[in-house]
């Protein structure tokens, strides 16, 4: 187990990830499983960490090969044996990630996906929770061949304790899109890792919406291994009360003329805690690197906390890298302007809060998916008013 004294865990107590936090299934409602219902997609269900074949759609999609991890582990498929666990093991070198290593060593559930062309529709991974004391250990392995295009959606409360790894190997000229919504108003802990390796002229985009949950830590580890590629990791987080959310990002540039973006916004109230740790590492020879990082916390009361640790480590001289982090409250001038024009104060607060989160949501390419996320946030804000 990592220790709180470890540099990358100084703001989050890892022992809470294994604490006994039973979560009554009755607290969940249809809002989670139906989040992307207006999107035409292939739906794959996991209940209490196990694949539910009866509820899931057929594992058939033009240009995409889909297998469960359980089935794939019994097949002699060359690319799976060369990909499963490889990205996770590579990421252990700069920073040890024992919970990811535990997942790779023990997970028996997950999805294995190989995209060879442009997928006609997104693949939606839906996590449901029925057992009050369930643990979920999922490992997804995704490979995009040259020129492929794939979108993955994720949502659902998953389990009382959730440990998930997703490895994404993005081939030359391939594009990967990822949108997930996690958390609900209940006691749960979640530890997720996404490891990505980018080929030449490839694209990787990932967005995460986090809503409450006792403790959530999302790690994104992105490696540029070739030239002329682009990666974006973004997140919007809203927390209320006994809530702790940690985004930790590590991006390594080892190719020429690559661009990375980290955009994270957190709205916190009633003592909630938000953490952002983001690093851009530019290796020697990775010239023409463009690295952008911004993290901002909006505190809706004096009891909440936002902690940020932005880092740049640069060993090339022809680069454009920047980072910024701010924390504050709603702008009183803007609030006065809106209320003076007849807008009720609570509605004005919601407008400003959504505008604050907008920069992160704008990183989602597909407008229909961005609209789903905005609608989810509007529902969260509506429930927060007396």
Determine phi and psi for 85, rounding to 5 degrees. Answer: 80, -10
**What pLDDT score was predicted for residue 363?**
97
**Nearest residue to 99 via CA among 21, 14, 33, 37:** 14
177-204 pLDDT, tens digit per residue, is: 999 998 765 567 889 999 999 999 999 9
Report the C-alpha gap between 174 and 334 in whole angstroms: 43
**What pLDDT score was predicted for residue 214?**
83
Where would I find the beta strands (DSSP E) of 60-115?
A: 64-68, 111-115
**What pLDDT score was predicted for residue 20?**
62
239-280 pLDDT, tens digit per residue, is: 988 889 999 999 999 999 999 999 999 999 999 999 999 999
**What pLDDT score was predicted for residue 22?**
52
What does the pLDDT average to over 227-239? 97
**What pLDDT score was predicted for residue 77?**
80
What does the pLDDT average to over 23-30? 49
What is the pLDDT confidence band of residue 82, given thresholds at 50, 70 and 90? confident
What does the pLDDT average to over 157-182? 90
Lowest mean pLDDT among 77-91, 253-267, 350-364: 77-91
Where would I find the beta strands (DSSP E) of 225-355?
A: 230-240, 244-253, 259-269, 273-282, 289-299, 305-314, 319-328
């Amino acid at each position: 187990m990592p220790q709180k004294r470890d540099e990358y865990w100084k703001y989050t107590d890892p022992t809470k990830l294994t604490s006994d936090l039973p979560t009554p299934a009755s607290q969940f409602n249809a809002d989670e499983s139906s989040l992307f219902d207006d999107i035409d997609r292939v739906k794959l269900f996991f209940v209490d960490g196990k694949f539910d074949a009866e509820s899931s759609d057929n594992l058939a999609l033009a240009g995409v090969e889909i297998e469960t991890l359980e089935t794939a582990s019994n097949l002699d498929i060359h690319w799976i044996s060369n990909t499963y666990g490889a990205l996770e093991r590579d990421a252990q070198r700069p920073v040890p990630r024992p919970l990811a290593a535990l997942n790779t060593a023990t997970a028996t559930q997950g999805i294995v996906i190989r995209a060879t062309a442009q997928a006609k529709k997104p693949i939606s991974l839906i996590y449901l929770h029925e057992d009050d004391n369930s643990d979920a250990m999922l490992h997804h392995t995704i490979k995009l061949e040259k020129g492929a295009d794939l979108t993955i959606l994720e949502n659902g409360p998953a389990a009382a304790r959730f440990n998930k790894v997703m490895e994404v190997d993005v081939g030359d000229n391939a594009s990967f899109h990822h949108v997930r919504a996690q958390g609900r108003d209940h006691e749960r802990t979640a530890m997720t890792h996404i490891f990505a390796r980018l080929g030449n002229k490839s694209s990787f985009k990932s967005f995460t919406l986090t809503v409450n949950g006792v403790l959530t830590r999302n790690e994104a580890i992105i490696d540029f291994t070739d030239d002329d590629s682009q990666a974006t990791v973004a997140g919007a987080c809203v927390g209320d009360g006994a809530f702790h959310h940690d985004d930790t990002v590590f991006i390594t540039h080892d190719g020429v003329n690559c661009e990375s973006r980290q955009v994270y916004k957190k709205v916190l109230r009633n003592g909630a805690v938000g953490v952002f740790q983001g690093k851009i590492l530019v290796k020697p020879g990775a010239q023409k690197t463009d690295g952008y990082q911004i993290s901002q916390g909006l505190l809706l009361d004096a009891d909440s906390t936002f902690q940020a640790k932005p880092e740049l480590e640069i060993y090339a001289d022809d680069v454009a890298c920047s980072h910024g982090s701010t924390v504050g409250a709603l702008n009183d001038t803007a609030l006065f302007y809106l209320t003076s024009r007849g807008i009720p104060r609570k509605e004005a607060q919601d407008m400003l809060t959504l505008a604050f989160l907008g920069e992160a949501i704008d990183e989602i390419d597909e407008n229909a998916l961005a609209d789903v996320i905005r609608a989810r946030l509007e529902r969260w804000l509506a429930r927060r008013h007396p």
